[in-house]
Structure 1
Amino acid sequence: MTQLKSFLPLEKDTKLSGQVWADAYAKGPLQSLQQMSGPFTAGGFFNVSNLYYSDKNLPQPIKNGNIKATLQNSGGVADNTAIDISAAHIEIGNDPVDFSLKLTKPVTTMNFDGHAKGRLTLGNLKQFGMLPNGTTLSGLLQADAGFAGSQAAISKGGYDQINMNGNALLSNVAYQSSTTQEALKIPNAKISFNNKLITLENTTASYMGSQLTANGSLSNLIGYMAGKQSLGGNLNLNADQIDLNKWMGTTASNTTSTNTTTASTSTATTAPFAVPANMNLNIHTTANTLVYDKVNYSNISGTLHLADEKIELQNIKANALDGSLLINGSYATRVNKEKPDISLTYDIKDMDVQKTFYAFNTMQSLMPIGKFLAGKLSSQLSLTGNLKQDMFPLLNSLTGKGNLLLLKGVLAKFAPLEKIASVLDVDRLQSISLKDIKNYIEFSNGKVLVKPFTVKVDDIEMEIAGLHGFDQSIDYGIKMKLPRAYMGSKGNILVNNLISSANAKGIPVKMSDIINLSLKLTGTISSPSLSVNLKDVAVDVLADIKNQAEDFAKAKADSLKQKAKDSLNVIKSKAEQKAKEALAEKGIDTANLNIKNAKDTIVKRVTDTLKKKAKDSLKSKIKKLFN
């Protein structure tokens, strides 16, 4: 091969050596090569031994190359050519590769049938420029694979016509990108594959202090890599412990409360996790412990389903905050990658109120009373909304409903309650014991509607309903039955004055041992204002709250309708673009296609359906609000 330098222009510093044996023949009229197939035959062999090649652009030399190949053609037409590399061996650096390959119909379908077996030192990939800047990779890959099919099948998406079988073994792999703090280490991973499935066996890994094991299978890998099909499969992932704060590059949020706000901050600087497209994966996961934000979870299990740029959480179970929880829902970046959409339904049982309040900034907004409440809480809640870039909820985007059940607790140092106790001069309301108190809530646009519920403290009975804002503002009505015996002198003077004022206006109010009062709480949680009237004199405070509830329900329905419309527009636009790209790939001119009319018809049908559902939902909410 060194003699080739005399008639092949090789670049400076290029080294080429080895031996070549070749023999070829051709027989028949030349017209066969130019026109149609005819009485023409050609063939020969091509053998190479001790091949060595290196140049300045090739970090690792190709050496010890031995290749045996034959070529046959019958009829003279190029597509009748058959190439058979019956045996080949090369070494890239110190990594040997043995392979064979048969090619037929190279012009029309490019049929191939081959086999390869070899070893690859993964660290060498960086030398070939196959890794992004800042990425390090080390370890060893050993593979033995057979493959057969055609380029024509791949071009038409017939990936099921590609036959593959073999296995691969990864050992001592360490991978770290420029965006990760530590390397993912895989001591060993065994992979077997065929044209339908890739099976992962006996895989162990470690990352950010977590010891991981995994197994399962993947499907449609070829179609996925070609960007034509979704990657399917089922994987099982088990971990001893996971610190998601480390995994996500965040630290536990610092949550502080002021007179009017509750803020949560995080050190996260990266964009939200974008769910990959073209996936249909089920990941069944278990973990002994998991840390996220400031909460420690244990005995975690559940399934993650990845599809259509969405992660569905299916029956995620865990123990936390002295209780248990069950979560179902979704996280999606199909519509908005900067502010991911979330939809969650959770069921918590027997959680510590104080720990729950300080653990979740969402609970601080939905249940600000939790700061002053000690005890056990159970709750069912469903919500939709968006996350910020730090992966914490965008509070004003949250819409939902649920219930809160206080199993047993003590409410103390709660400013609105202290205000009532002070104005009415009832000492026993300064701190109260509560049991089995259940209330139903709805929330939207930064406000929480609390439906009527009853609290009894000794012989004091209070029916409470109202609204509070995520900004800590309050607007509550209370119907109270209060024994006069519990009131001090200041409270009795207040009641006597209210009775005298009513009588002076010609409203007959009788003195009794039980006083029926109508209370109105406004202001903020930390600085409440209280107005007190006799029930027989004042406007029904709960009726006033009901009017506000109707406005709340309408605003909530409008908000949901607008969000659905915005999401529909984004999805519609993406679908239209995807359709145009598909047509363009087939060579169809989309410039003159009347896509708009068909699109508008679909949009009108969906919009009409959304309007009807919103209208029916609004009527139902108003009708059943105080049932």
Structure 2
Amino acid sequence: MRFAKFLGILLLLVLLPFAVVELFGGPIARQVVQALNRRLQTEIVIEHYDLSLLRAFPYLAADLRGVTVAGSDGSRLLEADHLSCMLNLGSLFGKIRISGILVEDGKLQLFTDRDGNTNYQLAGYTSVGDRAEEGGDAGAEGVEFAAERARLNNVVLIYQDAQLNVDALVTVDRATFSGDFGAAKYLLETEANLRVDYIDQGGYRYLDGKEFTLESVTAIDHALGGYEFSPLRITSGDLTLETTGFVTPTEDGLTTALNISSTSGNLADVLQLLPPSYTGSLADWETRGRLSLSTAVNGAWTRSTYPRIDGKLEFTDGRLDSPRMNVGARNIDLAATFAYVNGPRGGVQTLAVERLTGTFSGEPFDLKLRLEDLEDPRITFAADGSLPLATLPAMLGEGAVSRSDGVMHFRDVTLSGYYRDMVDARRMGRVSSAGTIRLVDGEFTVNDKVLFLPSGELKLLDNAVEVTDLAFAMEETRAVLSGRATNLIPVLFADSLNSRDAALEFTATLSGTVIDVGELLALSGPAEEAAPTAIPAETTRRVRLTDLLDGRFEAEVEAWTWDEMHGENFRGQLICTPGQLTLRGLTEAMAGAFRLDATTYFRETNRVDARITASKVDAEEFFYQSGNFGQEVLTADHLKGELNARILLELAFDDRGEIDYDRLHVLAGLEILDGELRDFPMLENFAFALKSGDLERVRFTHLANYFEISKRTIYIPAMLIRSSAINLTLSGRHTFDQELEYYVKVNAGQVIANKISRHDRALEVLPALNGLFNLYYTIRGPLESYVVDSDKRAVKADFIRSEALRNRIKQALDLRFQQPIELLPPVDDEDIAID
């Protein structure tokens, strides 16, 4: 009996809180909501709330779902799927006491304008009230805020400060805060795991996607408005930074008095904290060694001013390796200082690499660098020693050069001047440079093409560089380059868009045993989209190598190739201007001679405009090596003879580097002497129409005409063919898709007349001058099923139209070649008269 009574009392004590929560949970939760409204004095929207005992035992949890809190400027200060207020169990039977806050799956937006106003200045705003359930605020005064802890889980923090010009996005995976939040002075203890998606400040991006853990003890004084760290520890990777000192908000920003130190981690961890625009691909390097860092940050941080930084970074007994190469640096000894020094214009921030020594693959190097006044940096650089070229891809980052090998020797290399002058070719006269760079067994993979630089020497002479016997080779190319160039430094410092229009101006001689033009053009590579900048910008075409060249090569080449074309004894010039390359000269090729004037334009897609004069060239080889100009009507298989020609060629390429035949345009005047047409489909078509079998091989002494290729069609003005088998005049067009449209007049002699006598009587036979017969035919339709008709008016009408085409082509050739071109007399009046 006593046991039963004891069990009943025990059950009553256990079940009583649950019964109270069930009976009074709604009113308690409502009082919490009302108290929040009164306390924050802003608009709070809550979709649903309830009270739970089990979820936060031994505390009660006033769970608020779908919470939105408006900021003092009307923006959304907080959005959270779940906000929970932790209550003492005594809140069930007496005064409601809020002792903790939990925010989960939310977004917190903190804004500060140029005048220092924030969106979390909530005092002075009248509460809109509870949107979930209407009712008065009776009982709200009975709620006590005595929060001593707060927790954030999966909360995105957006911070924008117009005073400090800062824009940040941080994801708080987990954070806990504890302290007497209601006191005027208290210690705040913090532990957090967070990911900094980005921090943009002053046009630079910091901490892009970096993860951190944070531990701090912070003394907060609301009366003075200050924060004292004692200490604040931030850990990223193996690096732990310990910060002590004060931060005090002001009307314009912050006042800082901080000391930062570390004796853990590696140099790579420090590099990852700097903006990528400062470190480039160095942030990807892996390092090992002893690191020591000590820094003092003092002064005001506002939109227009930055605190002074004084400190020292040492990295000794170090090693550097890169995921982009299989060679690393050893015995690294680095000493860098940050100093705020007085100058004629006041104090300036400086950064100096006082010592950087070590070895790359056993090759020693010694570098020094000083940047004075980071706002307007004056650079002083010195280098001696050797650098394996295998390190370049890792230093240059992602780009055209994906692999390199060999050694670059530096001797007394110096560079001194303002950075603003180094990036502007018009101001490079103010920059001094000197020293010698020598290449040994250089090998580079540029846009997937291997370029060999086995030897050569470069001398720096302020804004000039002299190149002596720089040998270069590719799979099919062997040549030597010597010359003088200016503006090398602005080109090296050019950004990915070449926004300052830097160009390497040069005069040089190029001599070679063989040059493959296609290989050299491939070094430029396809156009690329710009990489993302610190603050996202509109996508723009990246600069290419050919955008950076402005000069002339005097070239002598024993042999050259370009796709199927090849020749020898080229003498001429290669003229580079930003975005284009012009080739002018004389060469022997295809058993004859050529005069070339061709310009390649490098833009989103490449394009070639060429002016070609051919003399005594083998016609079969000319058509074969030229790829039959992209057409299949008259090809190298059909033709023999000695060719003279004037050709205007507009050749376009698509984004894959293939010829775009839809944009191919050719104007040409051709004459072939002592030639032969073999198995020419067009003449075979005529043979079918004439019941003649003698046109499979036709010899002629002179064949001449103008042609145009446009929109995948070859256009043929009226032309006279005098041959061993037949004399005829024809005009027409033939598409690359084998659609025919020919107009033919046959002047039949006695031998042809005998064959015509056996021709289909349905075709009209007309008398001709001088006792000859003239036959007028149209041939139309697909090659496989064309139709032959007798139509004198159609033939003569097309001869008239083709005379205009012939004149237009001739005038274009005369204009571009700056001389009249006469290939053959005009079409006879009898041909264009209509009976």
TM over 0.5: yes
Structure 1 range deviating more: 120-129 or 162-171: 120-129
**Aligned position for 2:271:** none
> What does 1:327-342 correspond to in 2, within 5 Å?
327-334=596-603, 336-337=604-605, 340-342=606-608
> What does 1:150-189 correspond to in 2, within 5 Å?
150-151=418-419, 153-154=421-422, 158-176=427-445, 179-180=448-449, 183-189=450-456
Letter in 2 for 1:530: V
**Aligned position for 2:798:** 544
CA distance in 1, matches of 2:412, 2:758: 94
> What does 1:276-425 correspond to in 2, within 5 Å?
276-315=546-585, 317-334=586-603, 336-337=604-605, 340-363=606-629, 365=631, 368=634, 370-389=636-655, 391-424=657-690
Structure 2 vs 1, CA of residues 161 and 275 (structure 1 numbering), >3 Å: closer, same or farther?
A: closer
CA distance in 1, matches of 2:756, 2:827: 34
CA distance in 2, matches of 1:215, 1:144: 22
Conserved 8 A contact 2:628-2:635:
no
**Aligned position for 2:779:** 521
1:203-260 CA distance string (max 9 Å, x none): 223322543311122211222233222222133333323456777899xxxxxxxxxx
Conserved 8 A contact 1:484-1:492:
no
Structure 2 vs 1, CA of residues 137 and 455 (structure 1 numbering), >3 Å: closer, same or farther?
A: same
Equivalent of 2:756 in 488, 491, 498:
491
Q: What's the CA shift for 1:450? A: 1.5
Conserved 8 A contact 2:423-2:489:
no
Secondary structure at the counterpart of residue 216 of structure 1:
strand
Letter in 1 for 2:317: S
Structure 2 vs 1, CA of residues 92 and 477 (structure 1 numbering), >3 Å: closer, same or farther?
A: same
> What does 1:141-290 correspond to in 2, within 5 Å?
141-151=409-419, 153-154=421-422, 158-176=427-445, 179-180=448-449, 183-227=450-494, 228=500, 229-243=502-516, 276-290=546-560
Structure 2 vs 1, CA of residues 439 and 524 (structure 1 numbering), >3 Å: closer, same or farther?
A: farther
Letter in 2 for 1:360: S
User: How many pairs align?
Assistant: 486
TM-score, normalising length from structure 1? 0.63
CA distance in 2, matches of 1:16, 1:369: 72
Structure 2 vs 1, CA of residues 469 and 202 (structure 1 numbering), >3 Å: closer, same or farther?
A: same
CA distance in 1, matches of 2:621, 2:345: 82
Note if 1:135 corresponds to 2:400: no
Letter in 1 for 2:411: A
Kindly, what percent of the aligned residue pairs are identical? Answer: 15
CA distance in 2, matches of 1:236, 1:432: 48
Structure 1 range deviating more: 140-149 or 425-434: 425-434
CA distance in 1, matches of 2:394, 2:708: 59
1:363-406 CA distance string (max 9 Å, x none): 36285265322222222111324223554432221223121111
Secondary structure at the counterpart of residue 329 of structure 2:
coil
CA distance in 2, matches of 1:170, 1:212: 16
CA distance in 2, matches of 1:370, 1:361: 9
CA distance in 2, matches of 1:518, 1:430: 21
Equivalent of 1:479 in 702, 724, 745:
745
> What does 1:605-624 correspond to in 2, within 5 Å?
none
Note if 1:121 corresponds to 2:388: yes
Structure 2 vs 1, CA of residues 323 and 523 (structure 1 numbering), >3 Å: closer, same or farther?
A: farther
Structure 2 vs 1, CA of residues 328 and 493 (structure 1 numbering), >3 Å: closer, same or farther?
A: same
> What does 1:47-126 correspond to in 2, within 5 Å?
53-55=316-318, 60-62=329-331, 77-78=346-347, 90-92=357-359, 94-97=362-365, 106=373, 111=378, 115-124=382-391
Conserved 8 A contact 2:393-2:402:
no
Structure 2 vs 1, CA of residues 459 and 352 (structure 1 numbering), >3 Å: closer, same or farther?
A: closer
**RCO higher in structure (CA 8 A, sep ≥6):** 1
Equivalent of 1:9 in 262, 269, 278:
262
Secondary structure at the counterpart of residue 356 of structure 1:
helix
Structure 2 vs 1, CA of residues 149 and 532 (structure 1 numbering), >3 Å: closer, same or farther?
A: same
Secondary structure at the counterpart of residue 546 of structure 2:
coil
Q: What's the CA shift for 1:177? A: 5.6
CA distance in 2, matches of 1:482, 1:127: 76
1:332-383 CA distance string (max 9 Å, x none): 232x33xx22222212222323333333334362852653222222221113
CA distance in 2, matches of 1:114, 1:391: 41
Secondary structure at the counterpart of residue 393 of structure 1:
coil
More helix per residue: 1
Q: What's the CA shift for 1:200? A: 0.8
Q: What's the CA shift for 1:479? A: 2.6
Equivalent of 2:719 in 444, 453, 460:
453
**Aligned position for 1:464:** 730
**Aligned position for 2:186:** none
Q: Greater CA radius of gyration, 1 or 2?
A: 2
**Aligned position for 1:600:** none
1:19-69 CA distance string (max 9 Å, x none): xxxxxxxxxxxxxxxxxxxxxxxxxxxxxxxx98134657535568899xx
Q: What's the CA shift for 1:306? A: 2.9
Letter in 2 for 1:542: K
Secondary structure at the counterpart of residue 262 of structure 2:
coil
CA distance in 2, matches of 1:76, 1:453: 82
Structure 2 vs 1, CA of residues 272 and 361 (structure 1 numbering), >3 Å: closer, same or farther?
A: farther
Structure 2 vs 1, CA of residues 528 and 324 (structure 1 numbering), >3 Å: closer, same or farther?
A: farther
Secondary structure at the counterpart of residue 327 of structure 1:
strand
Conserved 8 A contact 1:459-1:482:
no
Conserved 8 A contact 2:408-2:437:
no
Structure 2 vs 1, CA of residues 520 and 272 (structure 1 numbering), >3 Å: closer, same or farther?
A: farther
Unaligned runs of 5+ in 2: 1-259, 267-287, 293-313, 322-327, 495-499, 529-543, 813-825, 830-835
CA distance in 2, matches of 1:78, 1:272: 44
Structure 2 vs 1, CA of residues 17 and 120 (structure 1 numbering), >3 Å: closer, same or farther?
A: same
Secondary structure at the counterpart of residue 388 of structure 1:
coil
Q: What's the CA shift for 1:144? A: 1.8
CA distance in 1, matches of 2:762, 2:262: 112
CA distance in 2, matches of 1:510, 1:107: 92
1:147-199 CA distance string (max 9 Å, x none): 3323454477622211222221122223336823xx43333211012223111
Letter in 2 for 1:143: R
**Aligned position for 1:434:** 700
Q: What's the CA shift for 1:541? A: 1.1
Letter in 1 for 2:670: L
Q: What's the CA shift for 1:110? A: 5.0
Q: What's the CA shift for 1:201? A: 0.4
